[in-house]
Structure formats: C-alpha cells, structure tokens
Amino acid sequence: MTTIHYREVTCNDSSHIEIVDDQRSFDLNHFAAACGQSPEWVLQLLEYDILSNRPDERIHQFFGDDISRARRAYRLQRDFNASFTAVAMMLDLIDEVQQLRKQVKQQHLHSH
C-alpha cells in the first residue's frame, strides 16, 4: 500500500492539491492508482508530453508533483471532454500564464 501525503491549497477561490512528499517515486501501477486512472491512461500522458519527459531507464518512475499534473489533466479532459492533444495544449497555456503572473508579481515587488 502506498501512502501519499498532500495538502489542499486554496487561492483566489480555486483550490488545488500539492503533494507534500514529492521526493518519493512511484512505479507505473502505483502512480496510476494514486491518480485514480489506468496505467494505459498514464502512458497516454507520457505519449502526449503532458508529463515531463524522462530518460528511457526511468520512463515509468513518477514523483509527487506528477500526480498533481495528472489530476489536473484528468479534470480538463473530463470537464471539457478534451482530447489528450487539447489537454496538453491547455496545460502548457496554464503553465505559461502562471509563469507570467509570477514574473509580473516579482517585478511589481521589486519596483516598490
């Protein structure tokens, strides 16, 4: 049995799950179980680069932050009836917006 420690973070009326023990790694089956999905679904995340690329010898090694991204991918897929290609694009755009917001916030803090 695998125990995953997480916390729910609420910010601006939205919440997301953060894995606390992100140094622990999971094999494909444990990772799929933690995501509530099948191993085949997880392999699709890898195929469509929804989860970051891994070296060949570690292709089926997953970490805590991968669970958060996989769960977000599932919610996008479910809520918008989106294909893996669309989910990959949506996540890339979400990541880019978050990065830009961080940059703007840092610039704002440094200018005051």
Q: What are the chain's domains?
A: 6-111 (1.10.1660.10)
Q: Are 32 and 38 in contact (CB under 8 A)?
A: yes
pLDDT on residue 21: 56
pLDDT on residue 102: 94
pLDDT on residue 1: 47
pLDDT on residue 53: 77
pLDDT on residue 65: 85
Determine if residue 39 is left, alpha or beta; phi over 0 gives left, psi from -120 to 50 gives alpha, anything else beta. alpha
The ranges of the chain with pLDDT < 50 are 1
